[in-house]
Amino acid sequence: TQLLEQSPQFLSIQEGENLTVYCNSSSVFSSLQWYRQEPGEGPVLLVTVVTGGEVKKLKRLTFQFGDARKDSSLHITAAQPGDTGLYLCAGAGAAGNKLTFGGGTRVLVKP
Amino acid sequence: DTEVTQTPKHLVMGMTNKKSLKCEQHMGHRAMYWYKQKAKKPPELMFVYSYEKLSINESVPSRFSPECPNSSLLNLHLHALQPEDSALYLCASSQEGQGAGRSNQPQHFGDGTRLSIL
């Protein structure tokens, strides 16, 4: 069974600060997806990383996939209150389209 | 706005009722999913349909019965649910890639149906 550990579980910061969320596993994933979920809504896809060592930027968000494709990180620069939400990482195995979700990180950015 | 549409948004039902949740997508995706999400937890996979055929059932109790009438629609029929089944039920869809590319297809989620069992 593939497991994804996400840390921290909760993060509360002031507007303008930076933050990093980590997603770690002992298993190799074919790809890893990051989602953000707001209350009352479904998860919204932010990015998919596929290649070991890959770095993708989405405005103030930087996503990195580990060289061994076992871990990933999400870094937010100069966080805004609009970044508040539940961040979920999800890994896909080679077998197919089944995702393994991390436990989620609840981010609160205070104005 | 999400491209995966789920109805109803909210549902309250008794333990003896029969109801159905509906999901629709028009992105041409051939893989569709049902997830259950409890408060402050990640989504848990229930079922996967690939080309309108059930490919994964994560040992879900038979009181949940999925159906995929065509490539755009996915239903979840509910009967004799328990209070612990109260949760947000999410539908998702994705492209069905080939070979190694199959696992790189991102999933697109609807906003869910919030289900309360009395």
Distance CA A72, CA A68 (A): 10
pLDDT value at residue A96: 66
Cis ω on the peptide bond leading into residue A43 (within 30° of 0)?
no
B39 inside 8 A of chain A by CB = no
Chain B interface, best mutation among A97, A98, A101, A107, by max B CB count within 10 A: A97
Q: Count of A–B CB contacts within 8 Å? A: 73
Q: Is residue A40 very low, low, confident or very high in pLDDT (cuts 50, 70, 90)?
A: confident
Cα dihedral B96, B102, B103, B104, rounded to 10, equals -80
Contact map slice: B 44-103 vs A, CB within 8 A: 44-45, 48, 50, 55-56, 90, 92, 94, 96-97, 100, 102-103
Peptide bond into A8 cis (omega under 30): yes
At residue A27, φ and ψ (nearest 5 deg) are -105, 155
Question: For B62-113, how does the pLDDT look when each residue is reduced to its tens digit (9 = 90+)?
Answer: 999 999 999 999 999 999 999 999 999 999 999 886 655 555 688 999 999 9
DSSP H helices, B52-108, are: none
Average pLDDT over residues A17-43: 94
User: Which tens digits make up the pLDDT trace of A78-100?
Assistant: 999 999 999 999 998 766 678 88
Rounded Cα gap, residues A94 and A81, in angstroms? 37
At A83, the amino acid letter reads D
The per-residue pLDDT for range B34-48, each reduced to its tens digit, is 999 999 899 999 999
Average pLDDT of span B18-43: 95
Number of Cβ atoms within 10 Å of the Cβ of A92: 25
Cβ–Cβ contact B113 with A under 8 A: no
From A39's Cα to the closest Cα of chain B, the distance in A is: 10
